[in-house]
Chains A and B, each alone.
Chain A
């Protein structure tokens, strides 16, 4: 049973446009969510997080939106740059539980 799902295995976006990566979860108890970026043969790099008490969090070109009623979160990257090409994982957790549940990842390719 996959508690966190990223239904798009891949996404291709033109440089300068907006990239939107989506993530759905089933466990309504999750109370914080994170996005990680991963290059091949490297560890995941933390990008941005959001607590369940918020519906939006911004950090530079990255914005995460949380829709609790739909159990859905999304990561917006604008403008997209070639260096953004990587695999993006969303993750969800329960505060204090020390366990993150990861989605399967979405490979983002930014085309020049």
Chain B
């Protein structure tokens, strides 16, 4: 089973709203990732959690706040977003350190976010 689930599938929010994206995996992976993908572009890494600790923040604005409550769950809290933040937000998971194929990242279906 290589399933990563994400909720909601779609989200529309105003610039003053607060919302959260959720991601879950039950593959025993201890690394989890948030990516942002704009149309016709490759995924861009935002955050990496390894063993529930934030290990990489790719200089993401503070209006995006990640949280890893346990080894299976990853949240992305959104506050005061801008219209240019509209994108597909992807969650992924992998074994954190194993080398080669064991580091393969498995992606969820994504949350399509529209900021009005």
Contact = CB atoms under 8 A, between A and B. Distances in A.
Indicate, yes or no, whether A interacts with B.
Answer: yes
Interface of A: 31-32, 34, 36, 41-46, 49, 51, 89, 93, 95-96, 98-100, 102-105
A45 B90 CA distance: 12
A99 B48 contact: yes
Contacts of A31: 100
A102 B42 contact: yes
A51 B112 contact: no
A96 B99 contact: yes
B34 interface: no
Interface residues of B, number: 32
A100 B96 CA distance: 13
B101 to A, nearest CB: 5
11 contacts: A45-B107, A46-B2, A49-B100, A49-B101, A51-B101, A89-B42, A95-B100, A96-B103, A98-B50, A98-B103, A105-B40
